[in-house]
Amino acid sequence: MVRTSIKSIGSGIDRLSALPEHLLCRILSELSTKDSVRTSVLSKHWRNLWLHVPVLELETSDFPDNLVFREFIDRFVGFDKEIDLKSFDIFYDVNVLWYDDFLWMIDDVVKRRVCDLMVTNNPYVVNEKLVKMPISLYSCATLVNLNLSFVAMNNLPSESVCLPRVKTLYLHGVKLDGDSILGTLVSSCSVLEDLTVVTHPGDYEKVVCFRSQSVKSFTIESQCEYKDPNVEIDCPRLEYMCIREYQSESFVVHSIGPYAKVDVDIFFEVEYEDPLAISMIRNFLTGISKVREMTISSRTLEVIRGYHSMVKALPQFSNLSSLDALLVESYWELLPVFLGCCINLNSLVVELDGLSEIEEFKVSPLLQDSLSARGFVQQKTPVSVTKTSSERKIAAYFVKKSG
């Protein structure tokens, strides 16, 4: 078999070019667009083959000027309008790409029935130069995966937003120039399953309502220096929820899946003496009290401690079977308060960071009883942190209590 292949190569037979065109296009689709275009110099047969590839991956910096870029897109999009565009991925710089050309480009990509669309702006440009997505995008009936980074969205009438087939929506630093844009977009995507939002510090929206009967995975992460928009979640089929570095005055969970997994790192800018703040935190804890697995940050444990100090009670997390808690510095004593509400917990992972040699390790009676009843206890310490005598004592205690 090997000798035959070598002989064929030596005889000058081009077996690759003999493959059917659809197989050659599939091979080229695994290459970058730049490499795919380079194959056009191989022979007359390969000259226009790259134009049939339903995948386009571009960076405006690869083109000498805006005119050359436009001619390239014109040639590709207009070559065979009967071919559906599987994927279009562009990294652009607004200092290179004119706004009118950007709108025209997205319009043409939509007309080619794009399935996966990724648009990423140069993250170092000023906010005023963020390109606003055209209205035509939201009426694209073929789009399944939409990934937008460092662009802007205008306030849109609800009838203009449909995206009936979008299952994955990723919005990173997308500036929302109006009210209810994000909530309208999410609620209109009737089959949306995976939603990720990394907030933009210049958002105008003060409250974002995520309502969906289809979303299964939801991640929200903050990029704001001070305060994030308030959030309401009503997603009864949600199986996984991740809240990262979020800081707001209100975060309301109306409904999520009954046995969801959550990763919670949230801090509320409230006064614990305020009855409205106490009610909001109670509702938040109640909203996530039915989850099965939880990862919780020290900041969120601090919220729980502040709330507990005022009301002396916490909701019962009776379904919670697995807990991963991050403890920093003096937050070790925050854990017992929460463990007392987790009556069916059988797996506890404690991640330690910041404990010093001079800190004295003490375990309260409540924590002793809680740990001794757990089926599995594990301690994690970051590799960058040298294990202190306190941490060794904690590890020894865990081994004793979980043995």
Q: The whole model's pTM is what?
A: 0.81
Q: What is the pLDDT of residues 153-169, one digit of tens each?
A: 876 655 556 788 999 99
At 371 the three-state DSSP class reads helix
Q: Are 131 and 227 within one domain?
A: yes
What's the domain range around 49?
Answer: 18-53
Say if residue 21's pLDDT is above 80: no
Q: Are 188 and 95 within one domain?
A: yes
Domain boundary at 230, 257, 284, which? 257
Q: Are 41 and 141 within one domain?
A: no
Q: Are 42 and 61 within one domain?
A: no
Q: What is the pLDDT of residues 291-350, one digit of tens each?
A: 999 999 988 988 888 888 888 888 999 999 999 988 765 566 667 778 878 888 888 887
The answer to whether position 403 is within a domain reads no
8 confidence band (pLDDT: 50, 70, 90) = very low
Q: Are 234 and 166 within one domain?
A: yes
The answer to whether position 44 is within a domain reads yes
Mean pLDDT rounded to a whole number for the chain? 78
Q: Are 34 and 126 within one domain?
A: no
d(CA 158, CA 155): 9
Per-residue pLDDT averaged across 46-53, rounded?
A: 73
Other Cβ atoms closer than 10 A to 43 = 11
The answer to whether position 372 is within a domain reads no
The answer to whether position 219 is within a domain reads yes
Q: Are 152 and 244 within one domain?
A: yes
192 confidence band (pLDDT: 50, 70, 90) = very high
Q: Are 91 and 188 within one domain?
A: yes
Q: Are 24 and 154 within one domain?
A: no
Q: Are 117 and 134 within one domain?
A: yes
93 confidence band (pLDDT: 50, 70, 90) = confident
The answer to whether position 227 is within a domain reads yes
The answer to whether position 313 is within a domain reads no
Identify which has the larger pLDDT, 213 or 2: 213
The answer to whether position 119 is within a domain reads yes
The answer to whether position 61 is within a domain reads yes
How high is the pLDDT of residue 197?
94
Say if residue 6's pLDDT is above 50: no
Q: What is the pLDDT of residues 373-394, one digit of tens each?
A: 555 555 555 544 444 444 444 5
Q: What is the pLDDT of residues 242-298, one digit of tens each?
A: 999 998 888 999 999 988 999 999 988 888 888 888 999 999 999 999 999 999 998
d(CA 29, CA 24): 9
Q: Are 137 and 101 within one domain?
A: yes
How many structural domains does the chain have?
A: 2
359 confidence band (pLDDT: 50, 70, 90) = very low
Q: Are 347 and 373 in contact (CB under 8 A)?
A: no
Q: Are 125 and 97 in contact (CB under 8 A)?
A: no
Q: Are 253 and 177 within one domain?
A: yes
Domain boundary at 224, 257, 290, which? 257
* Residues in Cβ contact with 84 at an 8 Å cutoff, skipping those fewer than 6 apart: 54, 112, 113, 114, 115, 142
234 confidence band (pLDDT: 50, 70, 90) = very high
Structure tokens, 181: 């844009």
Identify which has the larger pLDDT, 376 or 35: 35
Instruction: State how far the alpha carbon of 394 is from the alpha carbons of 295, 363, 401, in Å.
Output: 20, 9, 10
Say if residue 88's pLDDT is above 50: yes
Identify which has the larger pLDDT, 228 or 42: 228
How high is the pLDDT of residue 176?
82
* Residues in Cβ contact with 288 at an 8 Å cutoff, skipping those fewer than 6 apart: 241, 253, 256, 262, 264, 294
